[in-house]
Structure 1
Amino acid sequence: MDTERKRAQEKQVVHCMIALYCRRKHHTRGALCPDCAALEAYACQRSDHCPFIRTKTFCSQCKVHCYHPEMRERIRQVMRFSGPRMLWVHPVLAVRHLWETCRERFQTRRKP
């Protein structure tokens, strides 16, 4: 998979998870609230400048965490809430994300 496609896919998953979180927790419709919009912009900026995009699947699988601790905790809350619900809202994205994560774990275990 090429680098730009991986970046776009990662951004799409993050956007869908943040949108679901914002819609359910902050009761927004359509646009994100300012806090969630800032979190999404931060996540996209981190993804745009990631030097490990070729070798990693998602930020959660990365050995180096480039998120500021406060933002890392916020994105963790979003992922914890939205992750299980993504299967009902965006099943294709959720299954693809799960597949890529499992494949990455399997490949890292096989390496000596």
Structure 2
Amino acid sequence: MTKLGRVEKEKKVIELMINIYCSKKHKSKNGLCDECKELLEYAHKRLALCKFGDEKTTCSKCPIHCYKKDMKAKVKDVMKFSGPRLIIYNPIELIRHMFY
């Protein structure tokens, strides 16, 4: 089993959160809506380009803010909504995310 780096773990978490958000808020049944696909692609791109790489901290603690204001607001909404729901959908990931 391959150990994932910090960036890949963050990509998994944001994808999980966006999937929860989209299925509940946008009632998406077959994958993500266009708006959420765009947000996920943007988040993955920003994570891939993170200058700290696998040494990165959580984005909220980072001294560099690499998200555009509108995308940052969307991600915040997703996290506020999906974060508490991780206890139901993926409690292990919630625990990992909390203790990082």
* Aligned counterparts of 2:61 and 2:29: Cα–Cα separation in 1: 31
* Aligned counterparts of 2:21 and 2:52: Cα–Cα separation in 1: 27
Gaps of at least 5 residues in structure 1 are 101-112
Higher RCO (Cα < 8 Å, 6 or more apart) = 2
Indicate if the aligned counterparts of 2:11 and 2:44 stay in contact, CA closer than 8 A. Answer: yes
TM normalised by structure 1 equals 0.82
Distance 1:57 1:30, change over 3 A: farther
Higher-Rg member (1/2): 1
* Aligned counterparts of 2:7 and 2:15: Cα–Cα separation in 1: 12
Partner of 1:95, secondary structure, is helix
Match of 1:74? 74
Match of 1:45? 45
Gaps of at least 5 residues in structure 2 are none
Which structure 1 residue ranges, 4+ long, deviate > 3 Å from structure 2? none
Aligned residues: 97
* Aligned counterparts of 1:30 and 1:11: Cα–Cα separation in 2: 20
Indicate if the aligned counterparts of 2:7 and 2:54 stay in contact, CA closer than 8 A. Answer: no
Match of 1:25? 25
The two structures, once aligned, show a CA RMSD in angstroms of 1.2
Partner of 2:7, secondary structure, is helix
Match of 2:6? 6
> What is the aligned-residue identity percentage?
38
